[in-house]
Amino acid sequence: MVFSAVSHHTDPGTPEFVSLALTLTFLAGVYQLAFGLARLGALVNFVSHTVVIGFTAGAAILIATSQLKHITGIFVPKGESFLHTWIDLYSRINDLNIYLVIIALVTLVTALLSKKYIPKAPNLLIGMIAGGVIAIYLKTFTTGITLVGEIPAHLPPLSMPDFSVSTIKSLASEAFAVALLGLIEAVSISRAVASKSGQRINSNQEFIGQGMSNIFGSFFSSYAGSGSFTRSGINYAAGAKTPLSAIFAAIALMGIVLLIAPLTAYLPIASMGGVILLVAYNLIDSRHIAQVLRFSKSESAILLTTFFATLFLELEFAIYLGVILSLVLFLAKTSTPAIPTLSLDTSPDGKSRKFININKKPLKQCPQLKIIRIDMSVYFGSISHIQKRIAKISDNERINHILIVGSGINFIDLAGAEGLVSENNRLKKLNGGLYFVGLKASVYEFAAKSCFIKQIGSDHFFDSKTAAIATIYRKLDRDICLTCNAQIFKEC
C-alpha cells in the first residue's frame, strides 16, 4: 500500500520517493494516535471473531504459499497472486529441488519433535539449526541451496519526513487508508492470538502504541508498519506471554545485526521456509472453523467470504469485506426484534401477579388492551418491523390500546421515535394510543430530550405496571367490559 500510494506521486527508488514514504508513515501514525486518544478503539469490535478466523486462515495459506518457492526451488516471479503462484508451481514441477525439500522437512520434523519432547526449549530455533547443519552436508550434492546471506552490520540512519503543506495535502487521504489498514490488521492479529492465549485486547492502547511507533519510526528510516502474522505466530509459539517479548526481540535483533550478522550467511532460506510452514499451520483454528460451519449459516457465509477474499483479493479488502458483511447480517438480525405478547399470570398462592409471554403459557388476554414487549432497540433499521406489528394488532385484532413493556429496549434513535409517534397518532384517531412502562433511565432521558415524551404525552409513560393498567383501564369501552369473560385485571 505504501508503494502504491507513493508511486502515484514520484518515481520509485528516487530520494523523493523515500521522503514521501516517510511522510506517509508520519501521517498514518498521527491518524492512529488520534484514534487512540479519542478512545475509538471500540470500533474494532465490529471485526467479528468469525472475520478474524477466516482472515487468519486465509493469511496462513498465503504465508505457506509464499514459502513454497523457497522450499521447492521452483522459480515464481515476484509479486505473483495466490492462484498464479500455484499455477507456476504446477507447470514447473520438473524443476523441483529435492534437496531443498529435505532441508525444509528436517527443519519441520526437528521443530515438531523438540516441541513434543523438550517443550521448554526454543523448538523453532532448534529446527533452523538442524536445517542449517543438513544444508552444509547437502551443498556438496547441489548448488541450488540459497542462504539468507550476511546482514549489513549497521542500524538504519536518521531521516526527516517532508512537512510541506503541499506534500501533506497530497498524502492525507492515502495515509488515512494506510492507518486504517494497519489498525485493523494489527487488531485482527492480536485477537487471533488472544483467542489462543486467553488474553484481553486493549484496542485504544494498540492504537496509541502503533501511532507512536509510526510517528517516531518516520525519523529512523522506517515506513508504515503494523502487526505481522508470521512474527506474532512465531512469538506466541516460542512461549511469549507479555509485550516485553517484542522489546527483548528488538534488542536481540540489534545485537544480531551489530555483532553476529555474518552467521546468518549460513542459514538456508529453505530452513526458514520450513519453520514458517509450521507457524502458518498453527494459525489455522480448525476447531472453530468446524464449529462455525456446523452451527451457523450466516457465520459460515462471513467465514468463507473472508477466507476466499483473503486468498484471491487484496488483503485489506478482504478484511473490509468481512466487516461489511458482518455489519449487514447484524443489521438484518436487529431489524426484526422479537415482540412477544404478554398477559398477567397469578402465582399458585394468589399473592403475586406478573406478566408472562403467552407463548410459554396459554393465558387469557384483554380484548381491548394489548400488552407487548420489544426485546431489542428501536432504531432506523427496526422501526418498520415494529410499526408492522402494531398495525397488525390494530387492523387484525381491532385493539387500539397497546402497552409496550420497554425493559428490553436499549435505546431509541430519532427515526425510531418518529415512527412510534406516528403510530400513536394513528391509534389516537381510533380512540386508542401507545403506552410505555419500564423504560430504562438512559432511554427515558433520550425520550425527554428529543421531545418524544412531549409529542406522545407524558400521561402515556409509567414507572410501574400497576399504574399503567389502572390508567389505561379508565379509557376502555365499558360496554365491552360488561360482556368480557377474561377479567385479567384487578380493576375488572
Residues 480-492 have pLDDT tens digits of: 888 888 788 877 7
Closest CA to 235 of 275, 178, 180, 179: 275
Angle (CA) 236 238 242, round 5°: 50
pLDDT at 29: 95
Cell 520517493 maps to which residue? 17
Contact by Cβ (8 Å): 12, 197: no
pLDDT at 44: 66
**Distance between CA atoms of residues 35 and 464, nearest Å:** 43
Percent of the chain with pLDDT over 90: 25
CATH superfamily of 341-482: STAS domain (3.30.750.24)
- Residue 59: the pLDDT is 81
Is 191 a residue whose pLDDT tops 90? no
Has residue 303 got a pLDDT over 80?
Answer: yes
Band of pLDDT at residue 128, cut at 50, 70 and 90: confident
354, β-bridge pairs: 345
Supply 378's cell numbers. Answer: 428501536
Please answer whether residues 245 and 202 qualify as being in contact, where contact means their C-beta atoms are separated by less than 8 angstroms: no
The larger pLDDT score, comparing residue 209 to residue 187, is at: 209
pLDDT at 458 over 70: yes
pLDDT value at residue 45: 64
For residue 8, pLDDT over 80 is answered with no
Residue 315, pLDDT above cutoff 70 = no
8 A C-beta contact, residue 466 and residue 440: no
What's the pLDDT at 214? Answer: 95
pLDDT bin (cut points 50, 70, 90) of residue 79 is low
Q: Give the pLDDT of residue 385.
A: 92
Q: What share of the chain is helix, strand, coil (3-state, %, to 5)?
A: 65, 5, 30
Q: Which helix (H) or strand (E) is 371 found in, with range?
A: strand 369-373
Kindly report, residue by residue over 89-114, the tens digit of the pLDDT.
Answer: 888 888 888 888 888 899 889 988 98
What average pLDDT does the segment 424-450 reach? 91
Average pLDDT over residues 225-233: 78
pLDDT (0 to 100) of residue 294: 87
Confidence of residue 48 (pLDDT cuts 50, 70, 90): confident
- Rounded CA-CA distance 366/481 in Å is 9
* Closest among 119, 152, 136 to 270, alpha carbons compared: 136
Torsion angle defined by CA atoms of residues 22, 28, 32 and 38, in that order, rounded to the nearest 10 degrees: 120
Cell numbers given for 474? 379508565
Whether 196 shows a pLDDT value over 90: the answer reads: no
Nearest-angstrom CA–CA distance, 41 and 37: 9
**Alpha-carbon span 224 to 6, nearest angstrom:** 12
Higher-confidence position of 4 and 421: 421
Looking at residue 22, what is its pLDDT? 95
- pLDDT value of position 402: 93
Does residue 355 sit in helix, strand or coil?
A: strand
What does DSSP say about strands 369-373 and 401-405: parallel, antiparallel, or unpaired? parallel
Query: What is the average per-residue pLDDT within 349-356?
Result: 76
Average pLDDT on 153-162 reads 83
Residue bearing the bigger pLDDT, 48 or 444: 444
Q: Alpha helix locations (H) across 79-164?
A: 82-91, 98-117, 123-138
Q: Is the pLDDT of residue 312 over 90?
A: no
Higher model confidence: residue 72 or residue 492? 72
Look at 32-46, 140-154, 447-461 and tell me which has the smallest mean pLDDT: 140-154
Question: pTM for this one?
Answer: 0.65
pLDDT of residue 151: 67
Domain limits of the chain?
2-332, 341-482
More confident residue, 55 or 160: 160
Distances in whole angstroms, Cα of residue 436 to Cα of each of 371, 372, 431 = 10, 10, 17
Pick the range with the lowest mean pLDDT from 215-219, 259-263, 394-398. 259-263
Which tens digit of pLDDT belongs to each residue from 80-91? 778 888 888 888
Helices of type H across 361-489: 383-397, 414-429, 441-449, 452-456, 465-473, 478-482
Nearest to 32 by CA among 212, 164, 255, 259: 212
CA distances from 409 to 218, 391, 437, 444, 473 (A): 48, 20, 11, 10, 24
When pLDDT is cut at 50, 70 and 90, the band that residue 316 belongs to is: low
State the average pLDDT over residues 355-370. Answer: 87
Average pLDDT, the chain: 85
Q: What is the mean pLDDT of residues 469-487?
A: 86
